[in-house]
């Protein structure tokens, strides 16, 4: 199977390897030394973990500027293989439409994007037709109004940034298409922000038109609290508490920012399964290929004449 050349090379490698092992074992550490090294490594890891935990969960000196760190909420899409709760996306879009769309745009989402995600095509068509869009110019050169169609964007509340600022006392309601990705803390931050309105602490004066929210960097936000118990009525009978409404709208906003999440995780799972199977096959194939060499014993037998030669007398 092997010609002489490669066989000799293999033998050299094999000898080299066994010599390597021998020299390693000669310099092996004392068991006490090994145990001490283990203990110090474990201590370092534990200390790192404790520091990380404290970093994540304690109050900072500059919390005022950074905002309170949001808690870790159990959104299913945050886990390794977890996907979106699509019923929640559907309820969340209803919340967006009925509450947030009065001030916030959603420029990167078109009506058609909702089809087969949270609504049927027919349902989306009916929702789109409730809005009027300016189109044209037509064959007479005039712009005209027509009902919305599937490829149209979700309508924006203001014509441009100036109009938006003018209507909100100078503050700009940001576009919400990518907001869960655009803010440190993602979905947890948005949830904590929307549910986190409270009275300012003693001694803190709020300027006219600003609201106290400890999760907002600086603590004073131009958006007033707008999610309360019962502010929307869900068609599927889900209790319309403020926390449920907020959870749904945050899930919807997360979908808007990462519509590929479900598919990405499905492909990731497939890739993991495929590559781990291939790795096992590769390991097996390697064993199979090398077994003739790994189980070989090479012995050298001298010529017959050597056996008959008398032992030479010892030299002094």
Closest distance to ligand HEC from the beta carbon of 227 (Å): 5
104 binds ligand HEC (CB under 6 A): yes
* Phi, psi for 211 (deg, rounded to 5): -120, 145
179 binds ligand HEC (CB under 6 A): yes
Is the CB of residue 245 less than 8 Å from the CB of residue 227? Answer: yes
* CB closer to ligand HEC out of 64 and 263: 64
- Across the strands, what pairs with 147? 132
CA-nearest of 226, 216, 103 to 161 is: 103
99 binds ligand HEC (CB under 6 A): yes
The Cα 76–Cα 168 span in angstroms is 34
- Across the strands, what pairs with 211? 221
Structure tokens at 101: 């769309």
150 binds ligand HEC (CB under 6 A): no
Among 117-125, 127-135, 172-180, 295-303, the segment contacting ligand HEC (CB under 6 A): 172-180
Three-class DSSP category at 180: helix
Structure tokens at 204: 């803190």
Long-range contacts formed by 163-166: CB under 8 A, 24+ apart? 164/103
Closest distance to ligand HEC from the beta carbon of 84 (Å): 17
Using CB under 6 A, pick the residue from 114, 221, 232, 257 that binds ligand HEC. Answer: 221
Closest distance to ligand HEC from the beta carbon of 231 (Å): 8
Among 20-28, 96-104, 139-147, 304-312, the segment contacting ligand HEC (CB under 6 A): 96-104
Using CB under 6 A, pick the residue from 226, 277, 291, 292 that binds ligand HEC. Answer: 226
Q: In terms of residues, how long is the chain?
A: 316
* CB closer to ligand HEC out of 66 and 116: 66
Closest distance to ligand HEC from the beta carbon of 113 (Å): 18
Using CB under 6 A, pick the residue from 68, 89, 100, 118 that binds ligand HEC. Answer: 100
Residue 165: enclosing H or E segment and its boundaries? helix 161-167
Closest distance to ligand HEC from the beta carbon of 272 (Å): 34
183 binds ligand HEC (CB under 6 A): yes
CA-nearest of 178, 189, 167 to 102 is: 167
Pattern 227-256, binding to ligand HEC, x per CB under 6 A? x---------------------x-------
Is the CB of residue 105 less than 8 Å from the CB of residue 176? Answer: yes
186 binds ligand HEC (CB under 6 A): no
Closest distance to ligand HEC from the beta carbon of 220 (Å): 7
* CB closer to ligand HEC out of 70 and 173: 173
The Cα 104–Cα 222 span in angstroms is 13
The Cα 70–Cα 73 span in angstroms is 9
- Across the strands, what pairs with 145? 134
- Across the strands, what pairs with 119? 115
Is the CB of residue 108 less than 8 Å from the CB of residue 177? Answer: yes
* CB closer to ligand HEC out of 114 and 179: 179
Closest distance to ligand HEC from the beta carbon of 52 (Å): 25
Site residues (vs ligand HEC, CB under 6 A):
95, 99-100, 102-104, 168, 171, 173-174, 179, 183, 190, 194, 216, 221-223, 226-227, 249
């Amino acid at each position: 199977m092997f010609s002489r050349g490669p066989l000799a090379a293999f033998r050299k490698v094999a000898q080299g390897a066994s010599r390597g092992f021998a020299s390693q074992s000669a310099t092996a550490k004392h068991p006490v030394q090994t145990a001490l090294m283990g203990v110090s490594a474990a201590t370092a890891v534990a200390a790192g973990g404790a520091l990380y935990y404290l970093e994540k969960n304690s109050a900072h000196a500059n919390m005022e500027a950074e905002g309170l760190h949001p808690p870790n909420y159990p959104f299913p899409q945050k886990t390794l293989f977890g996907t979106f709760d699509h019923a929640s996306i559907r309820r969340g879009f209803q919340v967006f439409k009925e509450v947030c769309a009065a001030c916030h745009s959603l420029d990167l989402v078109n009506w058609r994007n909702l089809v087969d995600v949270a609504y049927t095509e027919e349902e989306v068509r009916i929702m789109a037709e409730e809005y009027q869009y300016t189109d044209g110019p037509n064959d007479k050169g005039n712009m005209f109004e027509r009902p919305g169609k599937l490829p149209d964007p979700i309508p924006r509340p203001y014509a441009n940034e100036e109009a938006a600022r003018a209507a909100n006392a100078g503050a700009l309601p940001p576009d919400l298409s990518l907001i869960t990705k655009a803010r440190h803390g993602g979905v947890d931050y948005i949830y904590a922000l929307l549910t986190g309105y409270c009275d300012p602490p003693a001694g803190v004066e709020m300027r006219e038109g600003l609201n106290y929210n400890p999760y907002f960097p600086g603590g004073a936000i131009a958006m007033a609290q707008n999610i309360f118990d019962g502010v929307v009525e869900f068609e599927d009978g889900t209790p319309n508490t403020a926390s449920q409404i907020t959870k749904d709208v945050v899930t919807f906003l997360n979908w808007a920012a990462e519509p590929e999440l479900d598919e990405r995780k499905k492909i990731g799972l497939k890739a993991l399964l495929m590559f781990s199977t291939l790795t096992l096959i590769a390991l097996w194939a390697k064993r199979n290929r090398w077994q003739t060499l790994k189980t070989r014993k090479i012995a050298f037998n001298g010529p017959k004449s050597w056996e008959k030669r008398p032992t030479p007398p010892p030299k002094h």
